[in-house]
Amino acid sequence: MKDHTKEDELARKDREINSLKLQVEEVKKLAAINERLLLASIKEQERLLNELSKRSELILKKGLEIRELQAFNDIIAVASRHLYIKDILENSLEATIGSLESLEEAVGRKVKVSGGIFLADEHAGELVHFTSCGIAQEALGCKGRIPVGECICGMVAQTGKVDVIPYCNASRHMQGRHPVCMEEDHAHVSIPLKSGDNVLGLLYLYFVPPGYLQLASDATIFTSIGNYLGLRIEKARLYEKVQELAILDGLTELYNYREFHNRLGHEFQRAKRYKKALPLVMIDIDHFKRFNDTYGHLAGDEVLRSMGRLIRESLRSVDIPARYGGEEFAVILPETAPEQAEVVAERLRSSVADHPFSVEGRNVSLTISLGLASFPHDAETKEGLIKAADRALYCAKSGGRNRTYRFSSGRKPCRRVTRAEQE
């Protein structure tokens, strides 16, 4: 009986041991499964994190590219609103600087950007300073003129390619021409302004602090800005030329008849509003028909060209000379006293009388007659002023030519202006 009991006890213990072994095996299998799951989870998380990081970089990159494209569009919009070179370049420069500061801020850099624009002088082979923002021309190391091929800007004008220098003080191309106002180091970006292969100017930018990190898309954006502004410069010059042709006489390069009346109307209203004197001088070349009959119309045209140059050289920059028609000219003298207008008229008469006109290899003398009238002394309207000056011119011609007459509302309609009166 006892033997049976022992056997049963041993059998029970064996079953318990086997059961525990089975449980241990199950735990090992379960642990292995859990370990595999955990490793798979970690790898999956790493994969997801890597993918997320790549997507974040892509989003950041795309975001910057979108910002750059938006900045380029903003610059285009600013440049497109203007017709004249001065307005185009001044406003485009401000827009470029503002956009670049915003783009730098978007990547976590606080940067101060300044710069300016040079225009190319093809005859001198130089870049000439045109406008700036945040830095004065006087502060530039080059003082506003750079020979093409020298210094950073001159070299970029020669190559026609965008140049970015992160640390300017380390560049061997500055040739001692660092900006006076920038003794500390700075980055330097040079953008040629091109129309086709022709470099019309250059946009330069200073970045403080230095170390400007150029993105792959920056060069493309900079090049696009330079090409667009170059195209706008060319179109603006063409527009200004067309405008100039519309208001200038093609032979003498003085204002034409229509523009004379526009300017006289404007100056008359201004003189009336501010109670200022406004003299008008009418001029006629003496015996010009006889000259044309003797030497021909080609020689006559050359005389008219020379006459236009002599008139311009005898006047102030604020005076308004015009070809009134044929051999007749007119000069508006804003804010000039009648007595001073007499001096101007006599100086002009003398310069023509003393000038040798070259015709067929020999010098020929010519003279002019001048009539002078002034608002408000001699007329109260624009038409009345022209009529009074024309009347004085008639008196000068009938009085012997090569002389100046001033309109008078007294008994005698005009009186002669003599050199003795000028002295």
- Quote the CA–CA distance of 339 and 277 in Å, as a whole number: 11
d(CA 305, CA 312): 11
The Cα 246–Cα 380 span in angstroms is 29
Task: Please state whether 319 falls in left (phi above 0), alpha (psi between -120 and 50) or beta.
Answer: beta
What DSSP assignment string belongs to 343-381? Answer: HHHHHHHHHHHTPPEEETTEEE---EEEEEEEETTT-SS
By C-alpha distance, which of 101, 123, 95 is closest to 113? 101
Tell me which of 126, 327, 342, 346 is the catalytic residue. Answer: 327
Nearest partner of 328 among 395, 390, 282, judged by Cα: 282
Distance set, CA 246 to CA 243, 250, 306 (Å): 5, 9, 21
Cβ count within 10 A of residue 49 = 10
Of the candidates 283, 276, 284, the one whose C-alpha atom is nearest the C-alpha of residue 374 is 276
Instruction: Indicate if 327 belongs to the active site.
Output: yes
Q: What are phi and psi of 231, to 5 degrees?
A: -65, -40
User: Active-site residues: which are they?
Assistant: 327
